[in-house]
Structure 1
Amino acid sequence: MRVRALHIYPIKSTQGHDLDSAEVEPWGLAGDRRYLVVDAGGTMLTAREFPKLLSCRAEIAGGALTLTGPHAAPLLVRPAATLSTVTVWRTDVDLRDCGDEAATWLSALIEHPVRLKWLDDPTRRPVNPDHGRPEDRVSLADGYPLLLASTSSLARLNDWIAEDAVEHGEDPPGPLPMRRFRPNVVVDGVAEPFAEDEWKRVRIGALDFRVSRGCSRCVLTTIDHSTYTKGKEPIRTLARHRRWDGKTWFGVLLIPDTTGRVAVGDPVVAL
């Protein structure tokens, strides 16, 4: 097994981009999900509510974040010193505001008043203690530092989607791209689809990770990244083939036990 691709998403719920290599920190890949968008009242927003966020590309260079979108010139973000408390799912986290320019730029993009916040200190947010250790930390990802998915599992899911479409009297759709699932690490060469469900620990290159749990999937996976519209898949098919505990599942969530660098092409070993 090998690393096929690496991805980070600097702002939660915006576009990801590919990396040839990445630094693994205790809370995830360096630069991954350190920013998020909130409404005027300070409530976290995602592409679940505002799919147009997926048209924003955020890139980090030299420690600075630049926003690019279809509606305005690129913007260099300049975080201020102001801290405020934002609830990220069930955890209250102190985040730094990124200023009026970023707020205006993003508000124009999604046509809704918002502000951009930055997690300047990633040690502030613990993982869910039900599936981690007290010392484990996570950035602004949904719950755990990294998401791993395999190409063999995606291929099986796309086969199921095509088969289920025929059963419903529909034309089979084109295969879903991996980016619908927003993984950090994509692995090639997994012998059986969904074999990663059974992994307890995994080594990527020279680094070791715990598999904390599977990843339950939500409506975000149904958004077409080209049209920003919601469809039925993959949730309809996952609900038929991959539903338990009242949720649908694809991919596994990792917690680093060691830090360092990983790269595309690195060997992957289930321990």
Structure 2
Amino acid sequence: MTDTAYDVQGQIAGLWIYPVKSCAGIAVQQARLSRHGLQWDRHWMVVDANGEFLTQRSLPRMALIRPEITADSLLLHFAGQSSLQISLLAQGGKCKASVWSDTVHAWDLGEWAEPARAWLTQVLGADCRLVRFDPAQPRQASERWVSQGQAPVHFADGYPLLVLSQSAVDELNHKLEQAGETPIDARRFRPNIVIAGIEAHDEDRVEQFDLLDDLHKLSGLSLQPCKPCTRCPIPDIDPDTAVQGVAVGQSIRRYRQDSRMDGAITFGMNTIVLGLPDVEGASVQIELGQSLAGNLRFD
């Protein structure tokens, strides 16, 4: 049991990393958490010939590329193809890549660049290549939404973490089933942390989640939801088949129009990490079942 002074108490029910932006995620039992987010999350990105990022929005088959992290390699798997293996030490030369309005510094992977380009082009049917984020050239989350100082981020759309309540997915599934549609799971929304034991969309309303260890706050470490996550067509893409439907988007449009985002559809919260020192390598381990708790925000 956690401190009863908290308004909201729950547990980490899902931990996901997405080593390659917009490819399949990896469910993990535990992960290192730094100010950048979870270890290995969005460290690599698929780009076109001009360095512009590519996602499932234009290439739904990216959902079927399954990354794996081993002791020394990034492996990419795709049904019917030999797996691609790239050293975790691979850097190569400097290059630039674009994520939305940001131009970021990256590595071109050197000797692994051409095998990666050939493999991705074959799998996706489009001329594309793989780049890796250069941590020596920091990228920061939007100052408009981050009130507690700068929040570094890799190739994620804009923030270190995406947090989602399991009950929000359950509520959506109830609406889908009422409409005669097939229920889905949290993968459609590509969260990093799924929280069980809280009300649907409590992540929208909590000032911050304190991570707890043995019933106490974990060294002052907190997750602060800072910006509602606006939704594009990706939740309508089945992560197991890459087939795009319409039912999920149609359903959430009926009840998730968000005045904070000028009426845009939101689901889940972009989140930053508070309480870790601003030094290279600072991180803690979090795991499934870990408790977290917070107090409701009254705007």
Scaled to the shorter chain, the TM-score interval is over 0.9
Q: Equivalent pairs: percent with the same residue?
A: 30
Alignment of 1:174-253 (within 5 A): 174-190=182-198, 192-205=199-212, 206=218, 207-244=221-258, 245-253=262-270
In the other structure, the counterpart of 2:284 is 260
Any conservation in 1 of the 2:46–2:129 contact (CA below 8 Å)? yes
Any conservation in 2 of the 1:146–1:185 contact (CA below 8 Å)? yes
- With structure 2 as the length reference, what TM-score do the two structures score? 0.84
Deviation per CA, 1:167-203, whole angstroms, max 9, x where unpaired? xxxxx1221111101101111111x212221111111
CA–CA separation in structure 2 for the residues paired with 1:227 and 1:20? 25
In the other structure, the counterpart of 1:97 is 108
* 1:41 to 1:193, Cα distance in 2 relative to 1, 3 A: same
In the other structure, the counterpart of 1:168 is none
Deviation per CA, 1:213-240, whole angstroms, max 9, x where unpaired? 2211110111012221211132111111
CA–CA separation in structure 2 for the residues paired with 1:122 and 1:19? 27
| Aligned pairs, number | 263
Deviation per CA, 1:120-151, whole angstroms, max 9, x where unpaired? 31752110111115531111111110111111
Deviation per CA, 1:74-115, whole angstroms, max 9, x where unpaired? 121143421111111111101111310011111110111100
In the other structure, the counterpart of 1:169 is none
1:161 alignment partner AA: L
Post-superposition offset of 1:250: 0.9
1 or 2, which has the higher helix percentage? 1
In the other structure, the counterpart of 1:147 is 162
Any conservation in 2 of the 1:15–1:57 contact (CA below 8 Å)? yes
Any conservation in 2 of the 1:86–1:92 contact (CA below 8 Å)? yes
Matched, 1:17 2:26: yes
In the other structure, the counterpart of 2:3 is none
Deviation per CA, 1:38-95, whole angstroms, max 9, x where unpaired? 1122211001100111111112222521111113211211434211111111111011
2:162 alignment partner AA: L
SS at match of 1:5: strand
2:284 alignment partner AA: G
CA–CA separation in structure 2 for the residues paired with 1:122 and 1:58? 24
* 1:209 to 1:80, Cα distance in 2 relative to 1, 3 A: closer
CA–CA separation in structure 1 for the residues paired with 2:136 and 2:163? 21
CA–CA separation in structure 1 for the residues paired with 2:247 and 2:152? 32
Which 10-residue stretch deviates more, 179-188 or 74-83?
A: 74-83
CA–CA separation in structure 2 for the residues paired with 1:71 and 1:103? 17
Any conservation in 2 of the 1:24–1:30 contact (CA below 8 Å)? yes
Matched, 1:85 2:96: yes
SS at match of 2:158: coil
Unaligned runs of 5+ in 2: 1-9, 213-217, 277-282
Q: What is the CA RMSD across the aligned residues, in angstroms?
A: 1.5
Any conservation in 2 of the 1:201–1:209 contact (CA below 8 Å)? yes
- With structure 1 as the length reference, what TM-score do the two structures score? 0.92
1:109 alignment partner AA: V
SS at match of 2:254: helix
SS at match of 1:187: strand
CA–CA separation in structure 2 for the residues paired with 1:202 and 1:122? 29
Alignment of 1:24-103 (within 5 A): 24-78=33-87, 79-98=90-109, 99-103=113-117
Aligned counterpart for 1:108 among listed residues 115, 118, 122: 122
Post-superposition offset of 1:2: 0.8
Any conservation in 2 of the 1:122–1:138 contact (CA below 8 Å)? no
SS at match of 1:118: strand
* 1:108 to 1:69, Cα distance in 2 relative to 1, 3 A: same
